Amino acid sequence: MPNPYREIFAAPGTAGFSAAGFLGRMPLAMLGIGVVTMISEITGRYGLAGALAATLALSGAALGPQVSRLVDRHGQRRVLRPAVLVSLTAIAGLLVSAERGWPDWVLFLCAAGGGCVPPLGSMIRSRWANIYREEPRRLHTAYSFESVVDELCFILGPIISISLSTVWFPEAGPLIAACFLASGVFWLTAQRATEPVPQPREAGHGKGSAIRSPALRILVGTGVFMGTIFSSVDVVTVAFAEEQGHKSAASLVLATYAAGSCVAGAVFGLLHVTGPPARRWLWGVCAMAATTLPLPLVGNLGLMAAALFVSGLAIAPTGVTIMSLIQQHVPRAKLTEGMTWASTGIATGIALGALASGWVVDAAGAETAYAVPGISGTAAMVLAFLGYRRVIPAEPTGSTPLAQGGTDADGQGGDAWRDGHGEDGRQSQPVA
């Protein structure tokens, strides 16, 4: 029986850049929760910890798309290497400031510089799209595989980060995350054969930002609420485990959340999905909302782990479907920027969720703070229903198709090159 996952690695270089992407994406799961754990260990102030994690995420949301636009124009190697040096310098400053007890404004200044590097998942997915753009089935499998890799990072990342910061020393988690970031970026950018060719805007399909797309704005908007779910679950679970007297167990509980998404993503990649992707996206958002509502009623860590596993099942399929929707609209000259805009929505939500849940934990305790992801999920569902018609891809209008067969990553008809007309968009990174 053919193995779709084995088939996608038949192309030369795919295993190398995917492995580099795995290493470089570990900080996505480690830095935020590592900062929360570090600051809470040093100062005991969850409000400050959440605010710093929010600043780090907002920095990525603001800087990531701009760096990605430069990547589209000039290539990954020329842009990512200097960008990661800026980010690493800021992270080092944050660790030193925390260890020496410097004023809060110094912590926030360093956190603001830490998001200079856009998510590595965007860079990896642009390489997959460059290879399998005309093979939609394999591209679907590749995106599903990368969604599984994302979740593996979120399984391993919190365990490593929290364990190091609580058992070794408070700054250990963010420090190791920075090492992963440096290693992943320099390894990835050393692989020139699979790097997408830069696409100068004047040679591309229109000028301006990909965020002008109405469909993209809806997807980014729901991504904000989804990101709020993810970070608030992280922050509140650490506090909940501490209230239960087992703070170090928070990493294992959070790992079950990512494990649910990992399992669902692996199965989803084996399927030949049919039907409108917009409808699957809507159902996925609804499932995420429904499974977060019961969290404030869960009274112990064991049940919380089970509840989060169930909640995680909706994440990866929803994220892969988001990519399928956007793949039908993205102009190649804006590919990496487009994927990063989706990540920007998630990052913004991560910032808001960390900030809000940290405040609620300080004010009312962890069990009450689990209402934050429930409220965020409900808001995402409402926005998805309101924006559903805008997300439905328009019929091809005669411009250059995604592939010779005119199909997208889900096998649906789509026009990949429209820019600035109607329901245009770009390709996104999956959630988490």
Look at 425 and 297; give whichever has higher pLDDT.
297
Q: What's the pLDDT score for residue 420?
A: 30
Of 103-112, 208-217, 256-265, 297-306, which range is least confident? 208-217
Q: What's the pLDDT score for residue 309?
A: 92
323-349 confidence digits (pLDDT tens): 777 777 666 666 666 667 777 788 778
Q: What tokens appear for 167 in the block?
A: 């058992």
Give the whole-angstrom CA distance, residue 231 versus residue 345. 13
pLDDT at 428 over 70: no
Residue 401 lies in a domain: no
Q: What's the pLDDT score for residue 34?
A: 84
Q: What's the pLDDT score for residue 397?
A: 38
Among 104, 107, 112, CA closest to 94: 107
pLDDT at 382 over 90: yes
For 169, the domain range is 13-197+210-391
Q: What's the pLDDT score for residue 383?
A: 92
Which whole number is the average pLDDT over 409-414?
35
Look at 30 and 423; give whichever has higher pLDDT.
30
Residue 415 lies in a domain: no
Residue 424 lies in a domain: no
Residue type at position 117: V
pTM assigned to the model? 0.70
Vertex 261 angle, CA 299 and 303, to 5°:
15
Separate counts of helices (H) and strands (E) for the chain: 16, 0
Contacts (Cβ under 8 Å, ≥6 apart) of 239: 46, 361, 365, 366, 369
Domain CATH number, residue 290: 1.20.1250.20
Domain count, the chain: 1
Vertex 171 angle, CA 168 and 176, to 5°:
85
Give the whole-angstrom CA distance, residue 201 versus residue 365. 50
Q: What's the pLDDT score for residue 310?
A: 92
Residue 411 lies in a domain: no
Which whole number is the average pLDDT over 287-296?
90
Q: What's the pLDDT score for residue 412?
A: 35
Residue 428 lies in a domain: no
Residue 4 lies in a domain: no
User: In the 8-state DSSP scheme, what is residue 428?
Assistant: -
Residue 21 lies in a domain: yes
Using 50, 70 and 90 to split pLDDT, how confident is the model at 188?
Answer: very high
pLDDT at 408 over 80: no
How much of the chain exceeds pLDDT 90, in percent?
Answer: 10
Residue 427 lies in a domain: no
pLDDT at 421 over 50: no
